[in-house]
Structures are given as structure tokens and as C-alpha cells.
Amino acid sequence: DIQMTQSPSSLSASVGDRVTITCRASQSINTYLNWYQQKPGKAPKLLIYLASSLQSGVPSRFSGSRSGTDFTLTISSLQPEDFATYYCQQSYSTPITFGQGTQLEIK
Amino acid sequence: QVQLQQSGPGLVKPSQTLSLTCAISGDSVSSDSTTWNWIRQSPSRGLEWLGRTYYSSKWYNDYAVSVKSRITISPDTSKNQFSLQLNSVTPDDTAVYFCARFNWGNNWFDPWGQGTLVTVSS
């Protein structure tokens, strides 16, 4: 199985801050990496697909990038509605696996 | 717009069978290039993909090794839905269960069902 290691597991930040979350795959997954946002009591919502493509309707302050097996989600200027938990997910091979999540909290 | 609506009991006794259904609107369970998945989420396991069913000239299933001996995911073309059965449950199977569509062309899970909290307890 491909292991997805996310860091940090939690993060405190303020409105307006620039935030970066990292996900490392245990082996090459090409660009088959998606990012989701999840709020309490809701299903995950797709933000970024294929490492760097912004899903329709998602604000442009969200962006994704790849360097080898390292992937990054960046929020350029945090808004109050961005405080949530973020997950990466690889779709390169079955079983599909997720990172353990990064909880983004208000400082 | 594709929507997934989950149904099923929220409480299951240990050793019994967990059964959930996911009704599809706006797409077909028999769609090519689309898989229909079950995923669960718990504090101990995080988000865990359980398995999928899909049609490509015939029906296929793939399951996670962790539940492979206990799980069945099956389509119901007459009702345009798919279901999850997990046998011999234990308290460790307590989780929020989601159904989700995965399209091979897009390579992402979207949409998801609303989630069902299933508690395994006597």
C-alpha cells in the first residue's frame, strides 16, 4: 500500500496568514494526488486534483504543487471559512489511501 | 448534478452485519469509467477506503485487505444504487461511513454521500 504522510497534524494560524500543508507519498504517484477540505459533520470537499488543478468553484487562494513525492497545499491568505481539516489522497493505485489529516485552527 | 443519498441503521450489534445503501441520482451505477466506493472515517483509522464496485463489460469489485474477508459491495441496477455489507462487526468498526463516486477520467472522489454514523454496540 502507498502511505501518505501529512504534516503538520495540526496548525494554528490567523486570518490573512499564508499556510502550507505537506503530504509525502511512500513511493512515486506521479501527479495522482488530490486535496480535500472537511468541516465537522460534513463529507470531504475536493479542492485540488491531480496535484495542482483547482476544482471549479474553489477560491484561487488555494493552490497545490508537487516536487517528486512531496506535495504541498498552500492557502495564500486565510479566510474565516478556511478553518477546517485538510486531507491528501492518492489515486495512483489501489488501495486508495489518504493522509491522516491536518487540522487548521484559529490562533 | 450527481447526488448520493445514504440509508441504513446507525446501530449494529457486535457479530452482526452492517448494511448500508447509497442511492444515485444524476448518474448510473452502470456508467463506464466510474467506480462506486465506500469509505469510512474514525478517530483511530482516519479516512479508510473500504472498496468499490464498477461495470466494465462485466461487474468488478475491489476490497481493502483489512476487510476483504468480511465485505461485500454490490450494485442494484433496478434501483440505481449500490450497497455495503460488512459481516461480523466489532466495536472497532464503529465509524462514519461514506459512499462516493470516483471517475477514472477525473481521478477524484466526488460527490460523496452525507455520511452515516454506525455504532457497533450491544
Using alpha carbons only, how large is chain A's radius of gyration in Å?
Answer: 13
Task: List pLDDT tens digits, range B19-28.
Answer: 999 999 999 9
Give me the pLDDT at residue B104, please.
84
Cβ–Cβ below 8 Å for B107 and A50: yes
What is the pLDDT at residue B70? Answer: 98
pLDDT digits (tens, 9 = 90+) for B7-56: 999 999 999 999 999 999 999 999 988 999 999 999 999 999 999 999 99
Contacts of B111 in chain A (CB under 8 A): 43
Distance, CA of B98 to CA of A82 (rounded, Å): 22
> What was the pLDDT predicted at B33?
86
Closest by Cβ to A32, choosing from B48, B98, B107: B107
CB contact under 8 A, B107 and A49: yes
pLDDT at B106 over 90: no
Interchain contact, A89 vs B114, CB within 8 Å:
no
Give the C-alpha distances (Å, rounded to integers) separating B104 from A37, A93, B9, B38, B46: 21, 12, 31, 16, 24
Q: Write out pLDDT tens, residues A37-70.
A: 999 999 999 999 999 999 999 999 999 999 999 9
Residue B122's pLDDT is what?
Answer: 95
Quote the CA–CA distance of B120 and B5 in Å, as a whole number.
22
Tell me: the pLDDT tens digits for B48-82?
Answer: 999 999 999 999 999 999 999 999 999 999 999 99
Inter-chain CB proximity A44 and B113 less than 8 Å: no
Q: What is the pLDDT of residue B105?
A: 83
